[in-house]
Structure 1
Amino acid sequence: MDCTEYRLLMTARIDNELDAATMAQFAAHVANCPECEEEYEALSGLSSDVRMHGERYAAPAHLKQRILSALPHRPPVSREAGKWPWAWINFGAALASSAAFVVTLGLYMAAPTSTNGLEEDVVSSHYRSLLVGHLTDVASSDQHMVKPWFTGKLDFSPPAYDFAARGYTLIGGRLDYLHGRTVAALVYQHRQHIVNLFVWPEQGKDGTAQQSVSRQGFQLLAWSDHGLRYWAISDAAPQDLAELRNLLDAQIRGETSSGSQK
């Protein structure tokens, strides 16, 4: 496919409507085509802004009446005693279907979508990093090299630590684009598994309960702490991601406690 065909697939990719093979082809093309990458990022950012900031409305009450009014009119049919005429049965079924449609539409329009959209962005970024060989911009297990590399490239300092002694080796970091903003991606290797840990500032959500979900064969773990939002993703077991989070939390708490005592 050429660029024109891939650009036609962008909205389908954002809405997660591509099959696995087409998604892999799309990710490989975008990673190697600056023009398509720029257009895809702009479209993804617009979609994220709409999901996060766009107003949502419940289906109005008069919608039900409009749907019922649009149903074909059936003249009354005489019926024998003790029997329901098929016309009335059909009308009752149509009425029930219409009511169900109204309720479903209202629930759909009221349902939040930003989290689901973020989950899909995390999966896409993780999958793309594995597919096209762009796992790291700075390849090093030295946390004193990885952390300073982000200086000047981001408006925050991501917590880069190596936990090789506990089975989580820091192999590097990179810049990534996630949910409408540039984020830090810290890359760990745990046995045969690659873990991407995405980090960005998010005020006002410290101490939120962690969220664990499974998407497209990957495990995702999200949490917030000290003004930062974390999303970890891997094909490792959920408890492995939870252990990485505990190691990171313990390291940050130890540094915070040490700093407050000085």
Structure 2
Amino acid sequence: MSDPASDSHSLRLHAALDGELDAANALAFDRDLAADSELAAEYRRLEAVRAAVRRHAPREAAPKALIDSVLALADAGGPAEPANVVELAPKARPSHWRQALPLAASFAVLGFAAGVALMSLRVPDPSHAVAENLVSDFARAAVVGQPFDVASSDRHTVKPWLAGRTTVSAGIVDLAPQGFPLAGGRVAVVDRVPSPTLVYRHNEHLVAVTELPLDARGTRGADGITTIDGYHVARWTDANLAYVAVSDMDEKTLAEFVAVFRAARAAQSEGGRG
């Protein structure tokens, strides 16, 4: 027997994901997300699952049976009329009707097939899909006022917290001397894989760096900074991990952050410290 409270919880989550909550309930839901870390984590997980389904759902070609049915209908001159209907007077049809209908139906089938083919070609670039997912995660965290699951400037607090919840060992560097102090960390689900996200602060702005395995889907060949929905996204790799940084700071400052982060990680790796 299902639990009514659990069913209500699930329905509310899915309604929020589908944008079906009214203004009052949406505000209440955002407040609950900010107050309940488990609810926020479940919401992000469902967002990631939905994004993965959209990326991986197959695009099917028009079935042969459908094409055959349309052509058969065209060859028959149109749908058969009910047997119990008596036509009082023959319907006037142009003499070229039977010749034109199959041609028109063929064009319709070709148009349908072309549309399906175009849809199959519009498969999102994997690296862009990963970035879009993390931008949504960053925006949601900003809206609910919960940019991290664990708030701390101490890497020795953030690292073990993330270690118990992710499959990647987070490489955390101290960038406070360069003007980018650590603010905390959270878990991001990327392609169904829980990954560590480090949150750094610069004045009133934040930058969230998600660390991914080098073989993660969509992490290759995407180095550089792009803009998605008003947020700047930097992507790069080193010998051990792939990184995606999302921020509301300007592009120049984000580039400076990436440079000091990469330099600190390189020095950390040479020193043998994670």
| TM-score band, normalised by shorter chain | 0.5 to 0.7
1:111-190 matches, cutoff 5 A? 111-113=122-124, 115=127, 117-190=129-202
Q: Is the 8 A contact 2:168 2:196 kept in 1?
A: no
Residue 46 (structure 1) shift: 4.5
Residue 186 (structure 1) shift: 1.0
Which AA in structure 2 matches 1:244? F
Which AA in structure 2 matches 1:210? D
CA distance in 2, matches of 1:212, 1:25: 35
CA distance in 2, matches of 1:47, 1:155: 21
Counterpart residue number, 1:241:
254
Q: Is the 8 A contact 1:219 1:234 kept in 2?
A: yes
**Offset from partner CA, 1:158-213 (integer Å, 9 cap, x none):** 12123233332222223344442322121112233111112233437886331544
- Alpha-carbon spacing, 1:115–1:199, altered in 2? closer, same or farther (3 Å): same
Counterpart residue number, 2:61:
59
TM-score normalised over the length of structure 2: 0.65
Query: Higher RCO, 1 or 2 (CA under 8 Å, sep at least 6)?
Result: 2
Query: What SS does structure 2 have at the residue aligned with 1:226?
Result: coil
Residue 37 (structure 1) shift: 5.5
**Offset from partner CA, 1:132-174 (integer Å, 9 cap, x none):** 3322344333445433443434333212123233332222223
Look at both structures and tell me which one has the larger radius of gyration over its CA atoms. Answer: 2
Gaps of 5+ in 1: 80-84
Residue 249 (structure 1) shift: 1.8
- Range moving further from structure 2, 64-73 or 146-155: 64-73
- Range moving further from structure 2, 205-214 or 229-238: 205-214
- Alpha-carbon spacing, 1:38–1:108, altered in 2? closer, same or farther (3 Å): same
TM-score normalised over the length of structure 1: 0.67
CA distance in 1, matches of 2:237, 2:116: 33
- Alpha-carbon spacing, 1:33–1:151, altered in 2? closer, same or farther (3 Å): closer
Q: Is the 8 A contact 2:168 2:211 kept in 1?
A: no
**Offset from partner CA, 1:23-48 (integer Å, 9 cap, x none):** 77655445556886676466446445
In the alignment, does 2:206 pair up with 1:199? no
Identical-pair percentage: 27
Which AA in structure 2 matches 1:59? A
Q: CA RMSD in A?
A: 4.4
